[in-house]
Amino acid sequence: MKIFIDSAEIEEIKQAYEWGIIDGVTTNPSLIKKAVEKRQGKITMEDYIKEVLKTVTGPVSLEVIAVKADEMIEQGRFLYKKFSPYGKVVIKIPINPSLGSDSLDFDGLKAIRRLSGEGIPVNCTLVMTPEQAILAAKAGAMYVSPFAGRIDDYIRTKMGMKIGIDFKKGDYFDYNLLSEMRSLKLRESILKHGSLTDAYRSQYIKDIICVSQDNGILSGVDLVAKIVKIFRNYGFKTQVIASSIRNARQVREVAEVGADIVTLPFEVIMEMIRHYKTLEGIRDFISDVVPQYEEVFRRK
């Protein structure tokens, strides 16, 4: 599995790249704007993007800001032409740029098809369902980015939980525990109703099922797993970038289900390397070093 860093902070990108673990970068206009503003006018946004591209040898995803197909295509071409001399540019296109009251639902797919047909690599973002991922792959996207963490948040809010009160952004979503709780509730309901038919008709059971998943998607990891399975079933060449990753355990789980790539904030990469028992072991190791063994290293 490849690891991308989800950041626009050049220091973070350079440090992670020096560790030898980073294969690419994903970013967005807001992150770039924040990074540039921290430098208080010492560098332009254009030069900053060039610096990011020159820092890594792998792909760097840059995002369009339009929502109409023709404008996204124009911006994608512009970004690719302007910045590809400095690195491997990938253009981020949203799967569905519609705001809900327009007719732009398929404009993302139109842009993906056109840019991909011109040899410009596309990362299809804001993917929340396997159905969307199928369409993006059919349109020719090189990458699809299912937003695992956002799906976890969505399911928790459907259950009545509030971010910042009942859970924090980085908290692990224990969908296995939730599945066990749901099964217990369902068994209780079946016993109460006395027959499978009556239980199946029960609105109470339907409500339990509805609020604890998203149309058959049990979690963000489950979303990634289903997309990986479908792509492999049909031989799609599109690679799956597990995105919106909130913690190290999520990284492990998307790796277990076969994600091609995971894109991570710097703090999640730091979380992956640390464990209390490793720290304890290093302290024991240092304290156990005997003078005679140290002397071996002094004799050259």
50 is a catalytic site residue? no
Helices 220-234 and 148-158 pack at an angle, to 10 degrees, of 130
- Tell me the residue length of the chain: 300
Could you tell me the CA-to-CA distances from 30 to 35, 80, 266 in Å, in that order?
9, 19, 16
Query: Beta-carbon neighbour count of residue 178 at 10 Å?
Result: 17
User: Active site residue: 2, 92, 138, 168, which one?
Assistant: 92
Catalytic residue positions?
92
